[in-house]
Amino acid sequence: MRRPQYKRILLKLSGEVLTGEGGYGIDPATIQKIAQEIKEVKNLGVEVAVVIGGGNIFRGVAASAKGMDRASADDMGMLATVMNGIALQDALEKIDVHTRVQTAIEMREVAEPYIRRRAIRHLEKGRVVVFAGGTGNPYFTTDTTASLRAMEIGADVILKATKVDGVYDADPLLHKHAHRFDELTYLDVLKKQLRVMDATAISLCMDHQIPIIVFNLKKKGNIKRVVCGEKVGTKVKG
């Protein structure tokens, strides 16, 4: 196995990857597998931060489309990410990985409030930091949260874990001739309206030259492969 190419990574997990084969909620076996993969990367000496979504429990955009006030719907979505964050912390702590959940919405009884300097100190001490609660503001996705937190903590790269093995020009689950890209620029993503991350998130990464690697989380060992510089998934850079 090669040496790690990155010292500090930000792993972006969608809520949907936690459901396993089910369509809703948190699958204990799936979250345990993710925790084990994070531990393997951490054992290489890599500092790991995680931004987690909440779509497996509640999607603010979907609820807004059905008539719910968007700000209220997004607040509920942000609370769902905290539930996922606590579940991931529990899975990591069970395999002796010291973990802190920091949330942008203050709830001191269950998680630390997000404080940038404290988050960086946790990472320096070898703890995994899970960022939950989105940005704490409605209308911003967890993709944007990932870009924002990556900049704030000085991450070398954003690893976006998905259910497919990179970025395609069409949905590969629906179109068998869909073309997968090995590399893209930020402008390619914006111009072609590729569904990597939303435009705000991509723009933030472009401004600060933070590369994004989109890869398949379902394939065992992929996080480690990406961190060690193997050609996995699609890389988006300047």
- Residue-wise pLDDT for 108-155, tens only, equals 999 999 999 999 999 999 999 999 999 999 999 999 999 999 999 999
Cα(48)–Cα(157) distance, integer angstroms: 11
Q: Given a cut of 70, is residue 228 above it in pLDDT?
A: yes
Give DSSP secondary structure letters for 132-172.
ESTTSSTT--HHHHHHHHHHHHT-SEEEEEESSSSEESS-T
Helices then strands, each counted (H, E), the chain = 8, 11
- Mean pLDDT, residues 186-204 taken together: 92
Q: Is the pLDDT reported for residue 64 higher than 90?
A: no
The separation between the first and the last C-alpha atoms of the chain, rounded to the nearest angstrom, is: 27
Q: With 90 as the cut, is the pLDDT of residue 164 above it?
A: no
Above 70 in pLDDT, residue 1?
no
The more confident residue out of 61 and 150 is: 150
- Please state the pTM of the whole predicted model: 0.94
Q: Is 45 exposed, middle or buried (0-12, 13-18, 19+ CB in 10 A)?
A: exposed
pLDDT, residue 22, reads 75
**CA-to-CA distance for 73 and 69, rounded, in angstroms?**
6
Q: What is the DSSP string of 29-62?
A: HHHHHHHHHHHHHHTTT-EEEEEE--TTT--HHH
Dihedral sign of CA atoms 218, 224, 227, 229 in order: negative
Domains and CATH numbers, the chain: 8-237 (3.40.1160.10)
